[in-house]
Amino acid sequence: MNWSAVAAIYRFEMARFFRTITQSLVSPVLSTSLYFVVFGAAIGSRIDQVEGVPYGAFIVPGLIMLTVLTQATSNASFGIYFPKFIGTMYEILSAPIGYVEIVLGYVGAAATKALFIGVIILVTSFFFVDMTILHPLVMVAFLILTCVSFALLGFIIGIWAKNFEQLQLVPLLVITPLVFLGGSFYSISMLPPFWQGVTLFNPVVYLVSGFRWSFFGTADVPVAISLVAIAAFLGIMLAVTAWIFRTGWRLKQ
């Protein structure tokens, strides 16, 4: 195990984050504040309560998930795509490191950035709504699992992508709709029965539901199922990543 290589990649990726700290932080904080204003204040004033939770507080876990998923995916995909694009990948491929080090470095850094932003949004939300977190440890566990597994997804996208369009495609066409339709801003019990059934095929539902449970103790699906779902997702991502490195797919000729 080459730990100094893991540290080198991790530091390099974090340096990119801090080099552009303004856009890394200001934009998620700003967009979250806008969501609070629009959904929380404008719409929330008409909805009042969902499952006994004030609407403004109810959307906090969903908002955090929305941003964390997007940030973990895009940071990781960009992190590994950029060396491919500018050609510095040669150094990673010729270094005395295996895929474990590469994944730990890139995915670890992307997950850290997403976690960082998630925490900042959480802190920001306390300025807008009054709430207490019922199960803080479960909340942290959900947050970290989500950051890691979606950073892995981003990593896979970054290796798969052959150009910047493809790099944007999956987050735009898949992740954003899944999150919006995953009960971020509503309880799925508010949907007609047919759509409730369809929604259960959306993995993000389990994430948001479990994450919301850690805040308020109410959930759309049992929290144990949520944990199993996110663990299964993580397992699939790890398996795909392992396969990529074993075959050198889109990395080596």
Partner 1 sequence: MSGIVEVDGLAKRYDGGFEALKGVDLSIREGEILALLGPNGAGKTTLISTICGITVPTDGAVRVGGHDVVRDFRAARRMIGLVPQEINLEPFEKVRDTVAFSRGLFGAPRDDAKVAAVLEALSLTDKAGSQIKELSGGMKRRVLIAKALSHDPKVLFLDEPTAGVDVELRRGMWEVVAELKRRGVTIILTTHYIEEAEAIADRIAVISKGRILLVEEKDALMARMGRKEMVLELSEPLDALPPALRASGLALGADGSSLRYVYDVHAERTGITRLLSDLQAAGIRVRDVTTRQSSLEEIFTGLVDHDAREAAE
Q: Which residues make up the interface to partner 1 (CB under 8 A)?
A: 2, 4-5, 7-9, 11-12, 15-16, 19, 82-83, 86-88, 90-98, 248, 252-253
* Beta carbon nearer to partner 1, 155 or 233: 155
Q: Closest approach of Cβ 243 to partner 1, in Å?
A: 15
* Beta carbon nearer to partner 1, 92 or 121: 92
Helices (H), 161-202: 164-170, 176-180, 193-199
**Which tokens sit at 193?**
């029965």
Q: How far apart are alpha carbons 196 and 30 in whole angstroms?
A: 32
Expressed in angstroms, the distance from the first to the final Cα of the chain is 25
Contact status, residue 59 vs residue 108, Cβ threshold 8 Å = no
Q: Closest approach of Cβ 252 to partner 1, in Å?
A: 5
* Beta carbon nearer to partner 1, 162 or 222: 162
Q: Closest approach of Cβ 62 to partner 1, in Å?
A: 34
Helices (H), the chain: 3-19, 21-35, 44-47, 55-86, 89-94, 99-125, 136-160, 164-170, 176-180, 193-199, 203-216, 223-247
Q: How far apart are alpha carbons 240 and 107 in whole angstroms?
A: 14
* Beta carbon nearer to partner 1, 132 or 253: 253
Q: How far apart are alpha carbons 99 and 17 in whole angstroms?
A: 23
* Beta carbon nearer to partner 1, 19 or 162: 19
Q: Closest approach of Cβ 28 to partner 1, in Å?
A: 21
* Beta carbon nearer to partner 1, 53 or 92: 92
Q: Closest approach of Cβ 24 to partner 1, in Å?
A: 14
CA nearest neighbour of 149 among 224, 227, 221, 94: 227
Contact status, residue 70 vs residue 175, Cβ threshold 8 Å = yes
* Beta carbon nearer to partner 1, 1 or 134: 1
Burial of 178 (0-12, 13-18, 19+ CB in 10 A): middle
Three-state DSSP class for residue 45: helix
Q: Closest approach of Cβ 5 to partner 1, in Å?
A: 5
**Which tokens sit at 171?**
């987050």
Q: Closest approach of Cβ 164 to partner 1, in Å?
A: 16
